[in-house]
Amino acid sequence: MGQTVAQKIIARAAGCSAVEAGSYVNVSPDYTCCQELSWQTRKRMMQEIGVDRVARPDKVIMVVDHSTSAGMGSPYYLSHREMKDYAFRNGVENFFGAGSGLRHLVLTEKGFARPGLLIFSDEPNIASIGALGALNISVSTEVIVTQITDENWMLVPKSARIELAGRLPFGVLLRDLAQILIRDFATGDTLSQCCIEFHGPAIAHLSLDERQSLLACAYHTGADTALMPVDEAALAYVQERAQERPYHLLSADPDADYVLETCYDLSTLSPMVTVPPDLHGAVKLEDVAGTRIDQAAVGSCAANRLDDMRAAAAILRGRTIDRAVTMYITPGSREVYVQAAREGLLEVFVAAGATVLAPGCTTCWGYEGALYDNEVSISTHQMNYHGRNGSRLARCYLASPYVVAASAVAGKISDPRAILADMGAGA
Amino acid sequence: MSDTPTSDTRMSDTRIRGRVWKFGDNISADDGIIQYSKVPDLATFDIPALKAMCFAELQPDFREQVKPGDLVVAGSNFGHHSHAHACVAMKESGVATVVVESCDSVFIRKALNVGLPIVVCPGVTRIVAQGEELEVDLATGEVRQPDTGARLHARPFSDRMIEVWRAGSLTAAMRRRLAGRGAGA
């Protein structure tokens, strides 16, 4: 039986020629990547084990991204300090402090995520690095095992193939497809413990930012991780940032085994809104249009790249947000922040009445922009369960940056296509 | 239950038998098993607080009625988007193992790391009801309803996973492994 791309990546890290889907293997990943919020747990675990040393400092990446500002009253300033001290004591050069951006973006922008590499991280949404052909396997605080011993076990995921065909219609983003995939698969077992390999003619027309938005949401379909083919655009990005570090261009064997093969035609999609509290609760925007909102937020690993900033700005340029709405916009990294500044996007946001936050996870997990009882938000966040962004009585709708920005302007959930058409902008 | 072997009786035994608490599909870890938004301090595991909220919204009598060695059986997509606090809540409540129709791989790791095995066993919700007994063998993957004799086969745990379960936690297993390595060097 032939091997999928995921199997080939894992086989290389396991030091063998092939691995079987569904089997357990011991691997030495190319990198581990972790954040600061779980530092206290990791520190305690290392104390219990009795080890304070990193086996391969060059393979460790540490990023402060969840608590970008160590505010008064927050316990996290201690984790910032201790994690930094630990990194420097161990010779870990790849420590990125508060405001650097999300692990997801640091991995791609700094050239760590390269084709054929296996990365053990502490978050499944880091599957976004699959846009460059790197495989994310989420192991949570267990990254310490790999940091201490340079190896750990993993389950070889089954693979599923989802073909993307057609072109996105005007005013529709790949985020809308992500919400549809979650609606279609999250409540079943089809993609459970799978790696989704996206392929098909549509991908060539999608920017790397858009691809990462979709991949960052893949875990919510029930899958463990996801990948996309490394095409010319992806390879050009990697070559620009790899700095002579190795990578491995891999493709699936023709007779590789997939538990599912299906196709989505992007041309049939329309703007979606996921209704709280279920992550699989996506409906057509029309079904909830007019719902009053108190807060709007663009950010999170699902929508904090330059294309997302441009999408929000396309709506907000020359407009002001409704006076009853608070709006937060969070660029995903320093690089995105700088580029958004160069393009004048930050000025658009501030002039419209939005608040630009420092690069990080910020509003997605409620560290900033917390909601009060019965408040309603619409955002590009990853989760919408009760209490995710503050009060358990708040309601959190999820949508694309277009829909979020259009809703902020109107003060209620609104279709972005009218504004985009009006401005001659859009898809 | 007193006449059946438990995980504690023999180190060589990888069978776990207990009374079942049954839950449905799509039980969220962060807003189902526990309410992550109500965890007082995310940097530590507040055991009394986690035990108090464990399954409280889904089965209000769980907290009072659960006994050490009980099992949890649940449907598809169990514990999505998990924080380890949900695993600690179940483990500290006395749950010996969790058997589910499906869940993601990182949740299995998080639970095992605090000593709680999660076994993915398609069909399990059809062979056992709330309050009935279920027996699971981690090494062979056999899942059995002793009263009806119904049997299913799950993917067996690997040796590394059984090592962690036997040690009681990932940190205990790592401590032993590194001590063994040091002795051999």
Q: How far apart are CA A164 and CA A228, in angstroms?
A: 11
Residue B15 in contact with partner chain A when CB distance is under 8 A: no
Residue B59 in contact with partner chain A when CB distance is under 8 A: no
Nearest residue, CB atoms, A24 vs list B36, B158, B178? B158
**C-beta atoms surrounding B181 within 10 Å:** 10
Kindly write down the DSSP assignment for every residue of A121-187, as one continuous string. Answer: ES-GGGGGGGGGTPEEEE-GGGHHHHHHHS-EEEEPPEEEEEEEES-PPTT--HHHHHHHHHHHHTT
Q: What is the pLDDT of residue A71?
A: 76
Residue A26 in contact with partner chain B when CB distance is under 8 A: yes
pLDDT, one tens digit per residue, over A38-67 is 999 999 999 999 998 999 999 999 999 999
Cross-chain Cβ contact A189/B26 below 8 Å: no
Residue with tokens 């540490």: A62
Cross-chain Cβ contact A386/B109 below 8 Å: no
Name the pLDDT band for A131 (thresholds 50, 70, 90). Answer: very high
Nearest residue, CB atoms, B122 vs list A37, A138, A189? A189
Those residues with Cβ within 8 angstroms of residue A108's Cβ, 6 or more apart along the chain or in another chain: A128, A129, A131, A132, A212, A237, A241
Q: What is the pLDDT of residue A337?
A: 98
Cross-chain Cβ contact A140/B84 below 8 Å: yes
Nearest residue, CB atoms, B101 vs list A24, A145, A189? A189
Q: What is the pLDDT of residue A424?
A: 60
Residue A393 in contact with partner chain B when CB distance is under 8 A: no
Instruction: Scan residues 65-104 of A and list those with Cβ closer than 8 Å to B.
Output: 75, 79
At residue A265, the 3 state secondary structure works out as strand
Name the pLDDT band for A1 (thresholds 50, 70, 90). Answer: confident
Which H or E run includes A382?
A: none
User: Which residues of chain B neighbour A155 with C-beta distances below 8 Å?
Assistant: 105
- In chain B, DSSP finds a helix count (H) and a strand count (E) of 7, 7
Name the pLDDT band for B185 (thresholds 50, 70, 90). Answer: very low
pLDDT at B44 over 80: no
- Asked whether the bond before A277 is cis by omega within 30 degrees of 0, the reply is yes
Residue B174 in contact with partner chain A when CB distance is under 8 A: yes
What is the predicted ipTM?
0.90
Q: How many CA atoms lie within 13 A of A20 on its CB side?
A: 3
Residue B104 in contact with partner chain A when CB distance is under 8 A: yes
Cross-chain Cβ contact B160/A26 below 8 Å: yes
pLDDT, one tens digit per residue, over B55-101 is 999 999 999 999 999 999 999 999 988 888 999 999 999 999 999 99
pLDDT, one tens digit per residue, over A323-351 is 999 999 999 999 999 999 999 999 999 99
pLDDT, one tens digit per residue, over B106-125 is 999 999 999 999 999 999 99
Distance from CA of B102 to the nearest CA of A (A): 6
Cross-chain Cβ contact A187/B110 below 8 Å: no
Q: Rounded to an integer, what is the distance from CA A373 to the centroid of its chain?
A: 28
Q: Hey, of A34, A145, A156, A300, which one would you mutate to test binding to chain B, going by the most B CBs within 10 A of its CB?
A: A145
Percent of chain A clearing pLDDT 70 (strictly above): 99
Dihedral (CA of A232, A122, A179, A326) sign: negative
Cross-chain Cβ contact A50/B175 below 8 Å: yes
pLDDT, one tens digit per residue, over A226-262 is 999 999 999 999 999 999 999 999 999 999 999 999 9
Residue of A nearest to B39 (CA): A387
Cross-chain Cβ contact B84/A141 below 8 Å: yes
Q: Which residues pair with A63 in a beta bridge?
A: A35, A96
For B107, list phi and psi in degrees, rounded to 5. Answer: -70, -35
User: Which residues of chain B neighbour A48 with C-beta distances below 8 Å?
Assistant: 171-172, 175
Residue of A nearest to B43 (CA): A40
Instruction: Scan residues 175-204 of A and list those with Cβ closer than 8 Å to B.
Output: 186-189, 192-193
Nearest residue, CB atoms, B174 vs list A49, A189, A386? A49
pLDDT, one tens digit per residue, over B132-176 is 999 999 999 999 999 999 999 999 999 999 999 999 999 999 999
pLDDT at A95 over 50: yes
Cross-chain Cβ contact B37/A187 below 8 Å: no
Q: Is-contact A266 A175, C-beta < 8 A?
A: no
Q: How far apart are CA A409 and CA A414, in angstroms?
A: 9
Q: What SS3 string covers A311-354? A: HHHHHHCCCCCCCCCEEEECCCEHHHHHHHHHCCHHHHHHHHCC
Q: What is the pLDDT of residue B12?
A: 65
What does the angle CA B34 – CA A330 – CA A85 come to, to the nearest 5 degrees? 70
Q: What is the pLDDT of residue B63?
A: 95
Q: Is-contact B23 B130, C-beta < 8 A?
A: no
Identity of residue A223: A
Residue B126 in contact with partner chain A when CB distance is under 8 A: no
* The token pair that represents B128 in the structure block: 């056992």
pLDDT, one tens digit per residue, over A157-191 is 999 999 999 999 999 999 999 999 999 999 889 99
Q: How far apart are CA A258 and CA B137, in angstroms?
A: 29
Q: What is the pLDDT of residue B4?
A: 44
Residue of B nearest to A149 (CA): B178
Q: How far apart are CA B48 and CA B27, in angstroms?
A: 22
Which H or E run includes B134?
A: strand B133-137
pLDDT, one tens digit per residue, over A140-157 is 899 999 999 999 999 999
Distance from CA of B37 to the nearest CA of A (A): 5
Angle between helix A76-89 and helix A39-49 axes, rounded to 10 deg: 50
Distance from CA of A423 to the nearest CA of B (A): 39
Burial of A288 from C-beta contacts in 10 A (0-12 / 13-18 / 19+): middle
A211 vs B38: which has the higher pLDDT: A211
Q: How far apart are CA B36 and CA A31, in angstroms?
A: 29
Burial A308-317 (b: 16+ CB within 10 A, else e): bbbbbbbbbb
